[in-house]
Structure 1
Amino acid sequence: MTEDRLRQDLRALGIEAQSLRPLEGGDLSAVVLFETSDAPPCVAKSGPHAGTEARMLRALAAAGAPVPRVRAISETLFVMDYLPKAPSSDTGWRDLGHALRRLHALPATNNGWPEDYAFGTVWLSNAPAPDWPGFWAERRLLPFAPEFPDLADRLEALAQRLPELLPKAATGLLHGDLWTGNVHFSTGGAYFIDPACYRGHGEVDLAMLHLFGTPPAAFWDGYGEPAPEWRARLPLYQLFPALVHLRLFGEGYRGLVERCLDACA
């Protein structure tokens, strides 16, 4: 998005921006820091699914999770508070673990989410399924079978086994893309950013936290003990983001996908 277009879209939200400056973290969307004459610095994030992401942030906030405050929304742009970066801390990780456990314990009547979403060109259907294994199979794994015909047989065989491997019902509130880069530390503590929310099994978030790094012990102090079998289910849940990365970023992630599949065999 050009600077002129961004200013125009902000004006449509009643905001006259000054001093626009791109921020890091815009692989799949544009993120810009700006100031106004009468308010603290804010961040504008734009993209085709920005409105959906903003509503997810508000849903997390309503559930008591630490997230940046969303100040204005359109379907392709939203504005949120700017939270300057600060070093990570055990206190922040502990508080974040506690908040995540609360999200995972929230009751719901079904899996899925009211809106679909996307990671770049990877479309995510969030339509509810009759049970959790069906959701994970039909909404998260099997859509990649046509994309990667050489993996289709393995994905389909795994999907058939999911009722034996996953809980039948799972409806906690998930961040949905909780790798360590989506944990943001600021002077006010630790925050969740860049959500891809839906209702499902909380171990999805735990698996993502262990895909490209690991949280410190303080996180577990806040989260508490996971189910004894959670590590056995890690590759089942890490397979989905591995497939997303293979689709978006290429063959460098094929080894990760195959390791997940091998671990699920």
Structure 2
Amino acid sequence: MTSPALVDSHCHLDFPELMEDLPGVLSRAAAAGVTRMVTICTKLRTEPAVRAIAEAHAPVFYAAGTHPMSAAEEPMASVEELERIALHPKMVGIGETGLDYHYTAESAAVQRESLRIHIEAARRTGLPLIIHARAADEDMARILTEEHRAGAYTCVMHCFSSSAELGRAALDLGFYLSMSGIAAFPRSGALREIFAAAPRERILVETDSPYLAPPPHRGKRNEPGFVALTAKVGAEAFGMEEAEFAALTSANFDRLFTKAAAWTDTGADTGTTPRTGA
């Protein structure tokens, strides 16, 4: 029986835990039915390495930005720099960016400045914004709403595990919620209810690997192939068959990540395109 086609909308293939066995990781993902994945650059100085992974592997796309927990330590990104990086044919999203007041509340002001820069880059490029939010629901909802009023952009709340209020605020703006392995944890019933109450056409699935492995791998290294385990739980939450949920979330991915949906493997991404970003 063929596994239903899935997309891992957020992973970190450049992290050592996955790079040490990248051929095996990609092989197991394909065996699990994962036909595409987006690997995320969290510091712009590592963009060339992340880009190289996408160039070398047809199923892999990438996004780039400065993670909020690194915002105070890394050079501040500019809209123009993000626009240049976005010229690459397999660069399909802006981020991850956002706010994290759990671990790095002391850099809140810098995080907010960085977030607004990334939003403007998403607005100008037409690429979806990829948001990390932790312990910052009020500021996150306020900034996303203020900026959307100033000019529309698209967005996914990656690894969504925040409050129902932030979820509703994001959905009201037309944004997407992405389900990670957290939603599959036994004690995440309230989170599953938030997803189940959301419009089906706004749900994505992801691993955030190498972190947050779903059961039965919880506490161990996560990898893109495990998105199938989270999708199984997602299907149950929505009262759908697994294949139906896989098709739904893949279609949702294509609707949001339009550049990835339109990409064809012509070989142009393997060394002949102009190099941008650093």
The TM-score, its normalising length taken from structure 1, stands at 0.26
Q: Which has the higher contact order (CA 8 A, sep 6+)?
A: 2
